[in-house]
């Protein structure tokens, strides 16, 4: 028994003295691992935060660039739209002007026929029944021609008693007048016409010189006659 006790004592002595410290070493290693994990996690978070900031900054720059490009494209669209609208309006005006020119050329060629109808109407004085029937037929044709001109937008000018306007009238004659003031139209020699507000043909007119010029002319003629009479009297006295 004594021997067994001694053996137990020897076994205890042979046990590694570091066994009591092993749990403490393991705990320290775990703490270091945790610390390393925390440091690694913090570094990862810092890296992620920096990358996020860079990404946001890049997105802001890209957004600003896209907004500038959008504004540029918008301005280009507005200019192109305005140019196209002006082009469309100009084309429409050109087409309208071309249409008016073609119609004006055709109608101008017809107007002398209308003039001949009007002259014939003034000269004809039907007396017999046959002449009156012919006159009515002529009047019907004339009215049809005038109606066609109206449908095309042609309207005659009314010039007698109006002030002379070189944009509308062409003065052929000028003479004194007691009835009309100077530069007022006395008589229409050839009718003028409008086409949709524009001059299709100028009116040929006679324009008043005013009553003053007529009196002046009479006074000049009177003075000339009196001078002739005085000259004849002086000649007879010399004889």
Give which of 101, 98, 99, 110 is closest to 148, Cα–Cα: 110
Retrieve residue 225's tokens. Answer: 């006659």
The average confidence (pLDDT) of the chain is: 76
Arithmetic mean of pLDDT, 20-35: 57
- Three-class DSSP category at 239: coil
CA distance 169 to 185: 9
Which tens digits make up the pLDDT trace of 170-179? 999 999 988 8
| pTM, to two decimals | 0.52
Please give the CATH superfamily to which domain 154-239 belongs: Head domain of nucleotide exchange factor GrpE (2.30.22.10)
Rg (CA), the chain: 58
Distance CA 196, CA 104 (A): 10
Domain residue spans of the chain:
94-152, 154-239
What is the arithmetic mean of pLDDT over 125-142? Answer: 79
Cβ atoms of residues 159 and 178 within 8 Å: no
Angle at CA 147, nearest 5°, toward 145 and 152? 100
Whether 37 shows a pLDDT value over 90: the answer reads no
pLDDT score of 64: 86
Q: What is the pLDDT of residue 237?
A: 43
| Whole-number pLDDT of residue 205 | 94
Segment 203-226, tens digit of pLDDT? 999 999 988 544 444 454 555 545
Q: What is the pLDDT of residue 223?
A: 53
- How confident is the model at residue 133, as a pLDDT? 81
In this structure, are residues 147 and 184 in contact, taking their beta carbons and an 8 Å threshold? no
pLDDT at 47 over 50: yes
| Predicted confidence (pLDDT) per residue in 53-66, tens digit | 788 888 888 888 88
pLDDT band at 164 (very low <50, low <70, confident <90, very high): very high
12 pLDDT band, cuts 50/70/90, is: very low
Q: What angle do CA 42, 47, 49 make, to 5 degrees?
A: 90
């Amino acid at each position: 028994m004594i021997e067994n006790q001694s053996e137990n004592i020897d076994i205890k002595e042979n046990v590694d003295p570091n066994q009591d410290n092993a749990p403490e070493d393991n705990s320290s290693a775990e703490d270091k691992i945790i610390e390393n994990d925390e440091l690694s996690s913090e570094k990862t978070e810092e890296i992620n935060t920096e990358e996020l900031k860079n990404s946001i900054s890049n997105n802001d720059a890209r957004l600003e660039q896209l907004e500038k490009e959008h504004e540029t494209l918008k301005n280009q669209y507005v200019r192109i739209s305005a140019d196209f609208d002006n082009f469309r309006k100009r084309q429409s005006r050109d087409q309208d002007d071309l249409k008016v020119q073609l119609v004006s050329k055709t109608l101008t060629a017809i107007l002398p026929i209308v003039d001949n109808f009007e002259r014939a109407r003034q000269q004809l004085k039907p007396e017999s029944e046959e002449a009156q029937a012919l006159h009515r037929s002529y009047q019907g044709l004339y009215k049809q021609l005038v109606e066609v001109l109206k449908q095309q937008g042609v309207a005659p000018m009314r010039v007698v008693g109006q002030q002379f306007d070189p944009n509308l009238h062409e003065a052929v004659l000028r003479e004194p007048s007691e009835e009309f003031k100077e530069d007022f139209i006395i008589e229409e020699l050839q009718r003028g016409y409008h086409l949709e507000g524009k001059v299709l043909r100028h009116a040929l007119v006679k324009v008043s010189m005013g009553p003053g010029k007529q009196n002046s002319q009479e006074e000049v003629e009177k003075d000339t006659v009196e001078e002739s009479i005085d000259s004849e009297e002086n000649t007879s006295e010399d004889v």
